[in-house]
Chain A
Amino acid sequence: MSNIAIKPPSQSGIVNWMKENLFSNKLNTVISIICIYLVVKFLAGVVDWGILNAVFAADASACKAASDGACWGIISEKYRFIIFGTYPADEQWRPLLAMVWFVGLIICSLLRSFWKLWLLPLWIASLIGLGILMWGGVLGLSYVENTQWGGLPLTLMLAVVGTVAAFPLGILLALGRRSELPLIRVWCVAFIELVRGVPLISVLFMASVMFPLFLPEGVTIDKLLRAQIGIILFTSAYLAEVFRGGLQAVPKGQYEAAAAMGLTYWQTMRVVVMPQALRIVIPPTVNSFISMFKDTSLVLIIGLFDLLATAKVAITDPVWRAFYIEVYIFVAAIYFVFCYSMASYANNLETELRKGEQH
């Protein structure tokens, strides 16, 4: 007998797809109809408000006349202030360049083909370059005090420098927590648990109010630097836990094989354990960076001008006060683009790495 396979009924086609995914039974049909109705209604409202009835010109009286539409005019009027804060207008190309450079660097660092050793010196050089570009005072750049920094560059800087500087600290803390030396372990556990147990705002309060008391008389560190130090210490405790997960994921046999080959503790860590552990921890490190990026908005509470703070200041302008929703949407969109793209990247990488483990 010939065993001709019977062709299964066609599974493709939009009608079939809808039958399967939207209208498979009575309950699903009801849910789908309600959902479609709500989505259409919502989208229509958004389009009406945000595009059809909206005013795009920076004209406050036109905005007030168009009562049922968005006023994107406030964005065209204020976008430079919201993004760059009080940085001198003629010099705003400098933070812009720094941002573009760092976003590029972050993207490169996240691509697997760039995971080479020269990435480390490149990062260090970039951080120095960032300082020169933002402060100026050399190479013919005019000096800009860091009390004038603000907006998106400040937010990005607090998060990027916070994570990069916390990276080595976190590795040390994680190694310390798994160390066989009891006193070192106790100190590391105490630091990590202490920091993870309190909200970030308390660390920032410490940085802004208590830190000046710690220093000898006459020595002062400005507020931005203090907040940055607080953020670095805070992040390092979280990264330490991420790295600990990575270290635990390296099989015990690897440690034993390294010991059998006569490698010392630091050799074992550098050549055998770290390369394997770091690969595992990249997705959770990106996630930790994302939460840091979002959490830097808390510095507005201690009076720094990050992206959220400049947005709040922008809508104190009496002419534009009524259009706060547009400003918050604008700022939320900036945060969303950064966080969402990084989160999707971390997710993809995680699935990819997991695929590699399976064979």
Chain B
Amino acid sequence: MSEPLKSRKRLSSLIYSEKARGVFAQILVTGGIAFIAWYLISNTFENLANQGIATGYSFLSLESSFGISEHMIEFTPADSYGRALMVGFLNTMKVSFLGIIFATLIGFVVGVSRMSKNWILSRIAAVYINLFRNIPVLLQLIFWYTLINNALPSPKRALEVLPDVFFSNRGVLFPVPADHPAYFWMGVVFVIALVGVWLLRRWALAHRDRTGQTFPYAWAGLALVVVSVFITYLVCGAPTEMSTPVLKGFNFKGGAKLSPEFLSLLIGLTLYTSTYIADIVRSGLLSVPKGQEEASTDLGLKPSQTLMHVVLPQASRVMIPPLTSQYLNLTKNSSLAVAVGYPDLVSLSNTTMNQTGQAIEAISIFMAVYLGISLVISLFMNWYNKKMALVER
């Protein structure tokens, strides 16, 4: 074979080799991404240098000099931006946590009602689902916010729906027990008691598997929690002092407050997400074959036992993955707080970047936080799916 022919053949075999083309494609794509990234980053640094904006996260320790209306940890304008973002993160967690609980409760009720044999109840549930699902959640929460601000009276004419519970356009005020160390210790004991219940349940299930005897761990656990927390209350001096809201001038002092921003966000997120949860509950319950219920009834299980030990465990395998992703959606949607002025992570990041000009840093922080939350949730999902996977054959 002559030399040129040989080299041409080598070249053509390279072109037609799938492996070589694969390597080439990967180099091309990675190179392209690297080039675009380099181009954008170099532009960014140039622009920042021209505008005289410093890069880096050192602004986090600077004094924020703005106030935050709602904070779960102490916060004053003298505190740093970093602490302000922490306050925002906790506020995000607070509204998401409560939203998840209420959306789940309402979603279960509506989902079960939707499946009811009672025609009118099922229709009402269907109307509820279609109505709140097909209107943008942002529109819903802006609507609730405007409604609370305009339809409720001023603090001076606040509606006293229950003794010492006031509804006004400044939000809902209600009495809470005044600050006392007893409540801290009750919380500690409560957590310890929960661990105790978990251990009790483990023992009870192992005991059942070993001997066949059941132990009512749910009731025993409930008693354990209630009694231990109550004893702590008595030991710590049984404080009875209450902090009640009182009208002073144009506003209320004392008590605890649910602000209009918080309420509208919570109501909007809850109603919107509950429609999705209702559908998940419905499809989960429908996914359990009817024969399962019939068989368990024939075995003599009570309806409650059938539900707890036969239907729900099977339905939850179908329900938990989409439920988790709805919880994640609710948490991400809580970032719409910025539209009604609830100080969540995104809206405080927004304030921070308006004051400092550190847009990239501020956005990167809240994106990283949301990514972190997503990551934790998907790790949980993987663990759960592995645990619940049907072992076949």
A residues bordering B, Cβ < 8 Å? 21-22, 24, 28, 31-32, 35-36, 39, 180-184, 187, 193-194, 196-202, 205-206, 209-210, 212-217, 290, 294-295, 297-298, 300-301, 308, 312, 322, 324-325, 328, 331-332, 335-336, 339-340, 343
**Of all chain B residues, which has the CB nearest A321?**
B150
Min CB distance, B144 to chain A, in Å?
Answer: 10
Is B346 positioned at the interface, with any CB of A under 8 Å from its CB? yes
Min CB distance, B29 to chain A, in Å?
Answer: 6
Residues of A close to B360: CB separation below 8 A: 210, 213
Beyond A200-B332, A213-B359, 4 additional contacts (C-beta under 8 Å) are: A199-B346, A294-B134, A332-B139, A335-B139
- Beyond A183-B29, A205-B350, A340-B134, whether A198 also contacts B371 by CB under 8 A is yes
Contact between A202 and B359, CB atoms less than 8 A apart? no
- Beyond A213-B44, A301-B338, A328-B143, whether A202 also contacts B22 by CB under 8 A is no
The docked-state distance in angstroms from the alpha carbon of A332 to that of B375 is 34
Contact between B29 and A184, CB atoms less than 8 A apart? yes
Interface bits B317-354 vs A (CB < 8 Å: 1, else 0):
00000000000000011011011000000100010010
What are 9 A-B contacts defined by CB distance under 8 Å?
Answer: A35-B121, A187-B29, A199-B333, A202-B366, A209-B359, A294-B135, A308-B142, A335-B136, A339-B134
Residues of A close to B130: CB separation below 8 A: 340, 343
**Of all chain B residues, which has the CB nearest A202?**
B367
Query: Which of B116, B118, B137, B370 is the most central at the interface, judged by chain A CB atoms within 10 Å of its CB?
Result: B118
Residues of A close to B332: CB separation below 8 A: 198-200
Residues of A close to B339: CB separation below 8 A: 300-301
**Which range contains the number of B residues in contact with the other chain?**
35 or more
Is B46 positioned at the interface, with any CB of A under 8 Å from its CB? yes
Contact between B25 and A184, CB atoms less than 8 A apart? yes
Interface bits B260-274 vs A (CB < 8 Å: 1, else 0):
000000000000000
A312 is contacted by which of B136, B142, B336, B353 (Cβ under 8 Å)? B142
**Of all chain B residues, which has the CB nearest A197?**
B374
Contact between B118 and A295, CB atoms less than 8 A apart? no
- Beyond A213-B48, A340-B134, whether A32 also contacts B121 by CB under 8 A is yes
Interface bits B41-79 vs A (CB < 8 Å: 1, else 0):
001101110100000000000000000000000000000
Residues of B close to A21: CB separation below 8 A: 117-119
Residues of A close to B11: CB separation below 8 A: none
Residues of A close to B50: CB separation below 8 A: 217
**Of all chain A residues, which has the CB nearest B53?**
A213
- Beyond A199-B346, A331-B139, whether A336 also contacts B117 by CB under 8 A is no
The docked-state distance in angstroms from the alpha carbon of A324 to that of B144 is 11
**Of all chain B residues, which has the CB nearest A28?**
B118
Within 8 A of A (CB), among B22-51: 22, 25-26, 29-30, 33, 40, 43-44, 46-48, 50
B363 is contacted by which of A205, A332, A343 (Cβ under 8 Å)? A205
The docked-state distance in angstroms from the alpha carbon of A73 to that of B46 is 54
Contact between A24 and B363, CB atoms less than 8 A apart? no
The docked-state distance in angstroms from the alpha carbon of A324 to that of B149 is 11
**Of all chain B residues, which has the CB nearest A205?**
B363
B residues bordering A, Cβ < 8 Å? 22, 25-26, 29-30, 33, 40, 43-44, 46-48, 50, 116-121, 124, 130-131, 133-139, 142-143, 146-147, 150, 332-333, 335-336, 338-339, 346, 350, 353, 359-360, 363, 366-367, 370-371, 374-375
**Of all chain B residues, which has the CB nearest A293?**
B136
**Of all chain A residues, which has the CB nearest B370?**
A198
Residues of B close to A205: CB separation below 8 A: 346, 350, 359, 363
A184 is contacted by which of B26, B143, B371 (Cβ under 8 Å)? B26
- Beyond A36-B120, A213-B47, whether A297 also contacts B136 by CB under 8 A is yes
Min CB distance, B219 to chain A, in Å?
Answer: 26
**Of all chain A residues, which has the CB nearest B371?**
A197
Residues of A close to B333: CB separation below 8 A: 199
Contact between A202 and B370, CB atoms less than 8 A apart? yes
Residues of B close to A297: CB separation below 8 A: 136, 138-139
Contact between A214 and B138, CB atoms less than 8 A apart? no
Contact between A336 and B138, CB atoms less than 8 A apart? no
The docked-state distance in angstroms from the alpha carbon of A325 to that of B149 is 12
The 7 closest A-B pairs by CB, nearest first: A197-B374, A21-B119, A339-B134, A199-B332, A294-B136, A183-B26, A297-B136
Residues of B close to A312: CB separation below 8 A: 142
Residues of B close to A35: CB separation below 8 A: 118, 120-121, 124
Query: Which of A205, A308, A322 is the most central at the interface, judged by chain B CB atoms within 10 Å of its CB?
Result: A205
Min CB distance, A311 to chain B, in Å?
Answer: 8
- Beyond A297-B139, A298-B138, whether A216 also contacts B43 by CB under 8 A is yes
Contact between B363 and A210, CB atoms less than 8 A apart? yes
- Beyond A210-B363, A308-B138, whether A181 also contacts B336 by CB under 8 A is no
Residues of A close to B26: CB separation below 8 A: 181-184
The docked-state distance in angstroms from the alpha carbon of A35 to that of B128 is 13
**Of all chain B residues, which has the CB nearest A182?**
B26
**Of all chain A residues, which has the CB nearest B47?**
A213
- Beyond A21-B117, A325-B147, whether A201 also contacts B136 by CB under 8 A is no
Contact between B359 and A210, CB atoms less than 8 A apart? yes
Contact between B135 and A335, CB atoms less than 8 A apart? yes
Contact between B353 and A209, CB atoms less than 8 A apart? yes
Residues of B close to A201: CB separation below 8 A: 335-336, 338, 346
Residues of B close to A336: CB separation below 8 A: 131, 134-135
Min CB distance, A172 to chain B, in Å?
Answer: 11
